[in-house]
A and B are shown apart, each in its own frame.
Chain A
Amino acid sequence: MNLLLDALRWLADPGNWQSGSQSPLPIQDRLLEHLAYTAVAVVIAALIALPLGFFIGHTGRGRQFVIAFTGSMRALPTLGLLFFLLMVFGYVLSYDTAPIVGATISFVILAIPSMLAGAYSGLESVDRGTIDSARANGMTEWQILTQVEVPLGLPLIVGGVRSAVLQVIATVTIASYAGLGGLGRIITSGIGLNDYDLILGGALLVTALALAIDGLFALAQRATATKGLTDSPQATRLRTPSRSPRPRTRESA
């Protein structure tokens, strides 16, 4: 308990938020770095994964590929991928740019599977009859995609992005271990200096960031699921009509 209080005190200390301090401080610099890395990687990954996911979801082609792909990508050890790319780019790029490029690429690679799965399953979740009706009314394929499938599949699509963002936040934390900035830097510095305030403080910061971003996305998902779509906002229908909790309509023996 003391350790926790110490760390909280450390976080509250304005001295740690002073610009111009020596690395790993100030906190806000590391926080901004963390967000910047995350944002760049997520945007790049989205530009690749979302269109691909929409194509697969709309046309139904490549279904098996997506499932196999996301499955195997999940098996990639993040640390391994990160270090691998850092070293590879270390051979071709300068000492300064190699880490950032290598790290960003690994973030992107790790973000793609979730977004792809979200995009694809979001589109798949749209009622086939609604799509059929839209097509029969004379919507072009593009119109069906943009006016029917994407809006109706938005909860799952946003869910995929949400998973991806959290994955990247987590990986950025570890990337500090390989020399990058970000909040993880505070933790690893703490490990090096054996300063538990830094270690725990950093951990709390990352946790708070992750929970905050996750909360924002949860709200976003809720928002996309309303407007006459479903009664409950949690529109991640991972299963068929049988709802949970199971209705206790009969007395079990």
Chain B
Amino acid sequence: MIEFTSVSKRFPDGTVAVEDFSFVLPSHKTTVLVGSSGCGKTTLLRMVNRMVEPTGGQVLIDGVDVAGQDKVELRRSIGYVLQSAGLLPHRRVVDNVATVPILRGVPKARAREDALALLDKVGLDRDLARRYPRQLSGGQQQRVGVARALASDPNILLMDEPFGAVDPIVRADLQVELNRLQRELGKTIVFVTHDIDEAFILADQVVIFRKGGVIAQAGTPAEILANPADDFVATFIGADKGKRDLFLQQRETDAGLTLVVDGSGRPVGVLGESEPARGRES
């Protein structure tokens, strides 16, 4: 469980990123922080592994203040994935994945074996293990990034817009993959994005931010979609144009087909016959 208590962050140049922020992120769930650039979501994320130090308040992991722990040890026990994957370009993929275990003193051979297993887990071919990051596609690099974050078997995964730099098709794949992994592993995931649809796919709990780290609304995707707290949220999720209210329509000419339309009558799709690709709820 991650808890923020009255956390503030004021930067040396005077900008206040976050003011008096309090929130609890439950264990083994995916919490997605959403908002436009500059709303403080990345700042809050980076406070969990002390890449950013709060100027006020505390961040607690399972009741223990992170400020009291050794920074380096803390970071080795938390997985961190960022947008550009941040892989070490001069190391092979397998060594990149094995970074933290090796730092912790695990013998190289075993660390590499474990790394290969992780590559399987994130859906990558073991052939790629001997390659260098540059030789992989963006999507593949991101998967390596996730594998690396999982290498030390952390309880917490911090993900900062990890799928932002890949194209939409790859992004969709990665989102499905992440959900599959999460069903399997049950980590506490803190995910930052500016894409509300991504949030809805991945989250158990969505937190929508205004500027300054102020929470506009927090809740499950269904709760937010059903009852946007105010106009800001409604605009943010696209509900103001009726896009989020869906209705079923049956026309005589489309026998046997049920059309799904949004609030303004725009056809969104057709009611499916089989099971959807699995989201957060199985």
Q: Which of B77, B86, B148 contacts A132 (CB 8 A)?
A: B86
Q: Which of B77, B103, B132 contacts A139 (CB 8 A)?
A: B103
Which residues of A are found within 8 Å of B131, using beta-carbon distances? 228
Q: Is the CB of B82 within 8 A of A136?
A: yes
Q: Chain B 129-149, CB within 8 Å of chain A: the 1/0 string?
A: 001111100000000000010
> Residue A247 at the B interface, CB < 8 A?
no
Binds A, one of B19-27, B87-95, B166-174: B87-95
Which residues of A are found within 8 Å of B217, using beta-carbon distances? none
Q: Chain B 46-83, CB within 8 Å of chain A: the 1/0 string?
A: 00010100000000000000000000111111001010
A-B contact count (CB 8 A): 64
Q: Is the CB of B87 within 8 A of A138?
A: no
Which residues of B are found within 8 Å of A151, using beta-carbon distances? 90
Q: Is the CB of B51 within 8 A of A132?
A: yes
**Given A143-B103, A228-B134, A228-B135, also A134-B86 (CB < 8 A):** yes
> Residue A207 at the B interface, CB < 8 A?
no
CB B229 to nearest CB in A, in angstroms, measures 33
Total count of chain B residues near the partner, CB < 8 A: 27
Centre residue among B49, B74, B88, B92 by max chain A CB count within 10 A: B88
Total count of chain A residues near the partner, CB < 8 A: 20
Interface hits, A80-116 → B, CB 8 Å:
none
**Given A227-B132, A228-B133, also A138-B73 (CB < 8 A):** yes
Centre residue among A130, A133, A140, A147 by max chain B CB count within 10 A: A133
Q: Chain A 144-159, CB within 8 Å of chain B: the 1/0 string?
A: 0001100110000000
Q: Is the CB of A137 within 8 A of B99?
A: yes
Q: B interface vs A, CB < 8 Å? A: 49, 51, 72-77, 80, 82, 84-90, 92, 99-100, 103, 131-135, 148
Listed A/B pairs (25) with beta-carbon separation below 8 Å: A129-B82, A129-B86, A130-B87, A130-B88, A130-B89, A132-B51, A133-B80, A133-B87, A134-B86, A135-B75, A136-B51, A136-B80, A136-B86, A137-B76, A138-B74, A138-B77, A138-B100, A138-B103, A140-B72, A148-B88, A151-B90, A152-B90, A227-B132, A228-B132, A229-B134
